[in-house]
Structure 1
Amino acid sequence: MKKIIFTFVLVCTFLHSDPLQAQDVLQSKDLSSVNVDYLSDADLAKIEAQLDSNRLSIEQAEPLLLSKGMSSAEYAKLKSKLAERSTSSKSGTPNKSNSEPKKDSEKDVANSTEKENSEFWRKQVTIKNNKVKDSLNALVYGSELFDKPTLDFTPNLQLATPINYILGPGDELQVSVYGVQQYNEIIPVTVEGKIAVDYIGELAVAGMSIEAATQKIKSAIAKVYSTVASGQSKVSISLSTIRTIRVTIIGAKQPGNYSVSSLASVYNALHLAGGPAKNGSYRSIELLRNNKVFKIIDIYDFLVQGDQSANVGLKDNDVIRIPAYSSRVTVEGEVKRPGIFEMKKGENFVSLLSFASGFTESAYTASVNVLQKTDKEFKVKDVKVNEFDSYLPQSGDLFRVTKILNRFENRIKIEGAVFRPDTYSFVEGMRVSDLVSQADGLKDDAYTKRAIIVRLKSDLTTEIVNVDLEKALSGDLDANIMLKKEDVVTVYSVLDFVEAYEVTIDGEIKKPGVYDFYQGLTLNDILVQAGGLTGSASKRVEIARMIIAEQIDNTNLNKAELFNIEITPNDNEQAKNFVLSPFDVINIRKMAVYDKPEMVSVSGAVHYAGKYVLASKKAKVYDIVERAGGLTSLANLEGVKIKRPIKAKQIEEVESVNLNLGKKDSIQNKLEKKLKEDLKYAIIPIDWKSIIKDRSSSTNVTLFPGDEIEVATFNEGVKVTGNVLLTSEIPFNKGKGFGYYLNAVGGLDNKGWRKKAYIIYPNGKAAVTHSFLFVRSYPKVTPGSQIIVPEKPEVKKMSTAEYVSIGSVIASLALLIVTAFK
């Protein structure tokens, strides 16, 4: 409510009597005759400024406007128009009051954007420039400054207005009086360079600094507003909208006329134009003002030192001229910033090196190789380090900075039986004893009778120098040899001459393997190292020892000496602690009888299915089935079989067979794959009826650990699968043969191979079709069996040419026969 009363007093203080004047719509006492449709964009802008200056939104001002007679319909129109302007401003659509048409510019003029200050919104027409990567000048030092969109030197509109800013047509000033008397208005600078202040008149401000214009406007207002002169009211003057100026850029990648902010600088304009063109100079850019050279810009001052003193502000109709460069040189190799650099007259190699940020850590700095161009040909020059500050690079010079040599000027090395084997610095006069002392002396195992020095000779070949360490370290100057740089001294260890002895233990031990031999090693020691005896270890231990002799004894055919020892199997600490020798082989034998119980399983139609221990070494199928309670009444007597796991050893035997089919033959590979992945069991058919009649029947086989006895449940169906029209199970019909069941499933498909059809019986046995004298006999079908029709192999048909070839061969043979019998 206080804001409404305050706004009402404010409007009443600065009101006009004519409600139809656009700029006084909100200050009129009577708003009943206002037609919002007749308000221009400039009128709406002034209304927005008045609302902003009083910190009011259009919604907060509604009670005041309606109380002044504005109809609800006109208020709704005004609110809608202001909302449209706000949306337009945010989306980038230019307002007529704040933008002017731009001519001959090669850049897209963006829409006006608003930058918020602590007291107002400052506006500025911004310019967008689509940057194009400079591939021609990519190596030229300084070109990257103009290729990055994020580095554009755009003036910051949120900063305070510079006091030396010169006003001109297009600028807009926000003039505010606050205190006892209040006034707020955004006033443009006209083309004549004047501003029109209400109740005061026109004031000429063009060409004046913002500071001088502020004093002039304050003085004029103080003559009309008495409270300003007395200090009861204050005057604030600031830039609301900054004008755009036009500058011309010549010699840039994108030369032309540009509309830029009046706060823009030289670097900002150069960035918009893409920087110097292909042959443009980066160090002698001219800023022309009033047809005279106002400033010479050297961009290297900014790149090398960060100096922006040349980045001066622009004025309307300024010209930026980028001349062609006069001298460029190239730096390659071990510098921190290789590239192409522009040189001024009188600059030396040290200056060039500063542009390239100096040498890298691995650069060879004693001299730099320069490839120069003469009037007729090239020539090479070496610039020594003492010439760096006197050599003046010439246009076209190519400087190559190489790496330092991969060698040392004072390296010496010691290795072997010393406490600190390492690389050390060499000094003239250094001897063997000095280097050993520097390595903290010899180890206890050092071999002092001999050490060697590997030395690099002048012709880059190597030689070995022998050293008697014992004499060298005792002070003998002849033995204490003088060292040279790059010498490698090796001190041997006595342990290097000792053979590494071992013993081997195998058999019933927990960790069989090869173990290091030590003097005094005994059988008890090695038993403990190998984890101790297993529970199956017997009392017999055999130790084999190699025979050592200086001469060959042809009468002795033994290759090793054997020792048979009896031990206590349940004790690792034997009473007879046998002393071992190097390379002994110890074998702990297994007990004669030590077989853990092994099992088979029974499944299917038996009374007590499950796993059973093989109590006998020759347990038969019948014995285990009887232990399982025998067959049930639902069992199929012709459906008893054994599934025996295929062992890894059997697969290895198949893999070892050479079928002479080649390494990559598919038949061998398929067979191995089938055994490993598909066939995990071998099937043994059992004739149970034969076993019932005679227990000694050959089908009553002996079982192996892991065998699985399967007893099938009686099934009256016959399954037909393979290449038939319908895979199905047909009820068994006694007396019906093979063909009956094939016909019952619709017969064979177009790939079915009838003469190779076979049957698998419930016990796993299979039978195939036979042919004799064109008479085909099919196997007998029983309940629970399965008929399988395989697929015909693909046969390649002979072509016409092959038929003709065979015919020609037959004709030739016939002619030969006829000729022979004439």
Structure 2
Amino acid sequence: MKKIIHVLTLFLTLFISFNTNAQDILKSKDLSTIKVDYLSDDDLAKISAQLKSNNATLDQVESMAISKGMSQNEFNKLKVKLAEYEKKNSKESKEKDSKVKKTDTDSEFGRKQEKIKNEKVKDSANALIFGSELFDNPTLNFEPDLKLATPMNYVLGPGDELQVSVYGVQEYNASIPVSVEGKVTIDYVGQIAVSGMSIEAASQKIKAAIARVYSTVRSGQSQVSVSLSQIRTIKITIVGGKQPGNYSISSLATVYNALHLAGGPGKNGSYRNIELIRNNKVYKNIDIYRFLVKGDQSDNVGLKENDVIRIPAYTQRVTVEGEVKRPGIFEMKKGEKFSDLLNFASGFNEFAYTASVNVVQKTGKEFKVHDINEGEYNSYQPQSGDVFRITKILNRFENRIKIEGAVFRPDYYSFTEGMRVSDLITRAEGLKEDAYSKRARIIRLKTDLTTEIVNVDLGAALSGDLNADVELKREDIITVYSILDFREEYVVTIDGEVKNPGEYEYFENLTLNDLVVQVGGLTGSASKRVEIARMIKSDAIDDADPKRIELIELEITADNNEQIKNFVLKPFDVINIRRMAVYEKPQMVTVSGAVGYPGKYVLANKKETVYNVVMRAGGLTSIANLDGMKIKRPIKEEQIETLERIDLNISKNDTLKGKLAKKLKEDLKFATIPVNWEKIVKDKNHFSNVTLFPGDEIEVAVYNEGVKVTGNVLLTSEIPYRNGKGFKYYLNAVGGVDNKGWKRKAYIIYPNGKADVTTSFLFFRSYPKVEPDSQIVVPEKPERKKMTAGEWVGIGSVISSLALLIVTAFK
């Protein structure tokens, strides 16, 4: 007893050790006790998870496992067992996924079938052959419907699987496959041979065998159900298809399903004489056209093991082109007529000429053309290679006539023999009120297809005069004129002080009041003076009278659109409403900076000066810079347009003019006018006391004792002003110019907008005077292209040549 307890204790210890090591195989220090044969699926799952979490394979940890005591033999066992586990686990995962993805039909009926895949390739070469599209479309596969009840005549064979159920007092349920020997094995019943039997006969045999074992089945207390749960796969052979070969397909598959898998007939394959060969005999001739034309599936029979589908070459094909509903290449059987071919092509379309068909036939050595009349359609037998061309009907009408113009319903109408002009006008609902009754025109197509004009006295024709009521012909075009067609379009023009000046349509008895109201009335600036220009009409030229037009001057009440004395206008009159002599809206300028009352001020008179406006603004304050006053004047659009029109005599590729215009529009926007206030105070007539324009802005700078230094200097800064210090002092105060600075072109901008530049004479340079609140600017040196070594060599050679020439001349 003690020995048994000792053995059990040792076994449990080893098992716990195995389990612990299996759970942490990568971290355990001792693997010598692991026995792979005792590892469970859970242990293997943990090992696999460890390897995946460490992103490693079993081969990568081999050296580590052996170094920790695992024998090479145990490690090899672990590799095999782990590989088998992962393969098994992968298979179960796939089966689980497939069960999840099963359709509602599969889950409902429970019948399974191996999925048969076949990639379809679009056959562009045979696209015109009638029927080829049936096998190119991947959505058409003719697969058997697994949800249908099992056919009672279905013959069982190896690979099928039966679902046998006993229910009632006793219960039994199992899925039993048909073995390769053709038998099914049922627990406690034994083996039953079912191969070659129909499902109905096999069911009766199985029920009888079960009844011998289960007493409740014999007594009727339990029932037996036999159904087909899995369908076997059979082998067939297809010859002559686009993809000939042996195919594994469902035992419920049909001929069309097999043909679709093989891609249908090949390039020269027949669509109408396909043979299904069973037991070395032709079991069925298949004509696909019966299905395509009539939807008849009588040829779509079921297949059996080792069936052969043979697709022979076609016997004769013809081509149908032109105006049929389904043009293409069609296969014909012996004895079929053109009417059958027309049926295959779904008949003529709506534009086809059906009286006869042109066919190009092939003889032994050349082509010939034959016309088939409509009466021969049911008797003509197409020959192999025939090309039938169905043409369009003619683009002409056999009974068309047209009326246009001043009738209520201008349109095309049907023509009948003996029809006259009055008949057609009656059909067009009669003449309009504006119809011109003196004349109508007929454009007539003659027999030689040239045209002629026939004039009709419309009034006489409608009054019953048969001579005037011309008899019409096919394709006549009758035009009824309108009196409005002969009337000139009259207009009048109004300009000046009205709301909407422009050109307006003239009406009879149109007056000046009517036109003023039509254009929206007078503006507030309209004067009482109106000038009307009227054209002069005369049959004779009077050289003594130089006038081109007649001028009429009127006086109106400017504030009233309805004038007491109304004036009747005539066609083409030009009316000008003059502007008042004095009518100007108040215009303003702006004063900003160091003044008593900055803001906007109205220009009180036409020659308002700087001094007047500044004094109206309260004069200058104590902090104003007397040398820092300037006027900013907006640049007008006309000035920019003038610049763009000026020819600067520069090349077409030069962008100078465009840059100038862009700078004025976008950057500057204002022109600066310097103002010398001290001079203006002493002399009001000084040129600085300029006359202001609307929109001007007077800026009075606040006194600033600093001098700004900007541009290409070492330090952009503002230096305190020191009386008596010159230009160089301020440049040196910011560290001087940088390596790009152009010192001799430096300039200064004074507070009032004036500027001054550095000048030089010989070796002497004169710098401008510096004042408080000025700005010194040092520009950048222009880039200069350095001379290359080749250019220096060229200059040297020229100098050498000149020196040699001079020496030679003085010898």
Fold conserved between structures, TM > 0.5: yes
Preserved CA contact (<8 Å) 1:114 1:121: no
Aligned: 1:365 with 2:371: no
Alignment match, 2:29: none
User: Do the aligned partners of residues 625 and 115 (structure 1) sit closer, same or farther apart at CA in structure 2, a change above 3 Å counting?
Assistant: closer
Cα shift readout 1:283-336 (whole Å, capped 9, x = no counterpart)? 222111111111122222222222222111111111111222222333333333
Task: Confirm whether residue 558 of structure 1 aligns to residue 564 of structure 2.
Answer: no
Superposed counterparts of 1:716-731, under 5 Å? 716-724=705-713, 727-731=716-720
Secondary structure of the 1:122 match is: coil
Change beyond 3 A, Cα 1:235–1:496:
same
Q: Which residue of 1 aligns with 2:129?
A: 140
Cα 1:127–1:510 change in 2 (3 A) is same
Partner of 1:501: 490
Amino acid at match of 1:314: L
* 2:93 matched residue in structure 1: 87
Distance 1:404 1:800, change over 3 A: farther
Judge conservation of contact 2:336–2:382 (CA < 8 Å) in 1. Answer: yes
Change (3 A) 1:318 1:657: same
Q: Structure 1 residue runs of 4+, over 6 Å off?
A: 35-38, 79-85, 111-115, 798-822
Structure 1 position 184, deviation (Å): 0.9
Partner of 2:56: none
Partners in 1 of 2:248 and 2:135 — Cα distance?
Answer: 18
C-alpha distance 323-589 of structure 1, shift in aligned 2 (>3 A): same
Gaps of 5+ in 2: 1-37, 42-84
Q: CA deviation at 1:815?
A: 10
How many Å apart are 1:168 and its aligned residue? 0.6
Counterpart-to-counterpart distance in 1, 2:591 and 2:358: 92
Maintained 8 Å contact 1:112/1:126: no
Corresponding residue for 1:60?
Answer: none
When residues 529 and 338 of structure 1 are mapped into structure 2, their CA distance, relative to the original with a 3 A threshold, is same
- More deviation in 466-475 or 779-788? 779-788
1:252 corresponds, among 235, 238, 241, to 241
State the Cα distance separating 1:209 from its structure 2 match.
Answer: 1.2
Q: Distance in 2 between matches of 1:354 and 1:753?
A: 96
> Unmatched 5+ residue regions in structure 1?
1-34, 39-78, 94-110
Matches within 5 A, 1:415-814: 415-661=404-650, 666-724=655-713, 727-742=716-731, 748=737, 752-795=741-784
In the alignment, the residues of structure 2 paired with residue 820 and residue 475 of structure 1 have an alpha-carbon distance, to the nearest angstrom, of 119
Aligned partner letter, 1:391: Y
TM-score (norm 1): 0.81
Q: How far does the alpha carbon of each residue in 1:425-467 deviate from its partner, in whole angstroms, 9 at most, with x for none? A: 2222222112111111111211111111122333333322211
Q: Distance in 1 between matches of 2:514 and 2:459?
A: 39
How far does the alpha carbon of each residue in 1:133-185 deviate from its partner, in whole angstroms, 9 at most, with x for none? 22332332222222222221122223221222111111111110111111111
Distance 1:124 1:573, change over 3 A: same
Alignment pair present for 1:128 and 2:117? yes
Q: 1:336 to 1:608 in 2, by over 3 A?
A: farther
Verify the 8 A CA contact 2:493 2:574 in the aligned structure 1. yes
Alignment length, in residue pairs?
731
Contact 1:640 1:685 in 2 (8 A): yes
Task: Give the direction of change, closer, same or farther, for the CA distance of 1:795–1:144 in structure 2 (3 Å limit).
Answer: farther
- CA displacement 1:577-597 (0-9 Å, x = unmatched): 122222222211122211111
After TM superposition, give the deviation of residue 637 of structure 1 in Å. 2.8
Counterparts of 2:103 and 2:435, CA distance in 1: 85
Q: In the alignment, which residue of structure 2 is the partner of 1:350? A: 339
Q: Does 1:212 align with 2:218?
A: no
Encode CA deviations 1:360-393: one digit per residue, 9 max, x unaligned: 3333334444343333333344444333333333
Q: Is it true that 1:159 corresponds to 2:165 in the alignment?
A: no
Aligned pair in 2 of structure 1 residues 335, 636: CA closer, same or farther (>3 Å)? farther
Change (3 A) 1:116 1:488: closer
* Deviation at residue 661 of structure 1 after TM alignment: 4.4
Cα distance in 2 for residues equivalent to 1:112 and 1:411: 67
Q: Give the superposition deviation at 1:472.
A: 1.6
The answer to which of 197-206 and 810-819 deviates more is 810-819
Q: Residue type of the partner of 2:241? A: A
Matched letter for residue 682 of structure 1:
A
Deviation sequence 1:685-744 (CA, Å, 0-9, x none)? 222332233332211111111112223334444444445555554554554444454555
Q: Which residue of 2 aligns with 1:374?
A: 363
Which amino acid in the other structure matches residue 471 of structure 1?
A: A
Kept in 1: contact 2:106–2:112 (CA 8 A) = no
- Tell me if the contact between 1:505 and 1:512 (Cα under 8 Å) persists in the aligned partners: yes
Residue 128 of structure 1 aligns to a residue whose secondary structure is: coil
1:93-125 CA distance string (max 9 Å, x none):
9xxxxxxxxxxxxxxxxx997986677622221
Cα 1:436–1:113 shift into 2, 3 Å: closer
TM-score, structure 2 length as denominator? 0.82
Label 1:81 to 1:327 Cα distance change in 2 as closer, same or farther (>3 A).
closer
Alignment counterpart, residue 291 of structure 2, candidates 291, 297, 302:
302
Which one-letter code corresponds to 2:353 in the other structure?
Y
Q: Distance in 1 between matches of 2:125 and 2:791?
A: 68
Change (3 A) 1:299 1:608: farther
How many Å separate the matches in 2 of 1:618 and 1:459? 86
Q: Is the 8 A contact 2:628 2:751 kept in 1?
A: yes
- What SS does the corresponding residue of 2:520 show, helix, strand or coil? coil
Change (3 A) 1:650 1:321: same
**Matching of residue 236 in structure 1 with residue 242 in structure 2:** no
Structure 1 residue 83 displacement after superposition: 8.6
Q: Distance in 2 between matches of 1:370 and 1:637?
A: 108
Q: Confirm or deny: 8 A CA contact 1:115 1:121 kept in the other structure.
A: no
Higher alpha-carbon deviation: 546-555 or 734-743: 734-743
